[in-house]
Structure 1
């Protein structure tokens, strides 16, 4: 999976948990919580959806890695690719 595909995964999850948010102008290098009306429960929902949909576990100590789209892609790409290798 590419970094752009990982960003799309994160945006798709956000679209499901916060359907009223306009995701068309999300800047990849700015913290998501600074751009969108996401609270800590929404953020936990993102983490839970990653686990439920894709089997990606994000330990609490790594939550800050998901702050922006760029950092999310940087963190998630190798994890998605490791899962793909196992299948």
Structure 2
């Protein structure tokens, strides 16, 4: 996958966890958890869904690096098979 496809996958996955997620005011470098009101259970669900969809292992120690849409996209891109 390329960067654009990965970003779309991340946004689609967030929308599956939080159906009313509105990305209009969330840029790639904005912290999305607060902006989209993802609580910790939602975030864990997102991580599991992304891992399932991409085949990329995401460990708990990786969570602090996954704060913006760009962070998540870059993380997935650098770790895909």
Q: Tell me the TM-score normalised to structure 1 length.
A: 0.82
What are structure 2's unaligned runs of at least 5 residues?
A: none
Q: Which is higher, the Rg of structure 1 or of structure 2?
A: 1
- For the residue of structure 2 that corresponds to 1:67, the secondary structure is coil
What are structure 1's unaligned runs of at least 5 residues?
A: none
Deviates more, 1:21-30 or 1:57-66: 21-30
4+ residue segments displaced more than 4 Å:
none
Matches within 5 A, 1:1-87: 1-80=1-80, 83=81
Larger helix proportion of the pair: 1
Q: Tell me the TM-score normalised to structure 2 length.
A: 0.87
Q: CA RMSD in A?
A: 1.3
Distance 2:43 2:53 in 1: 15
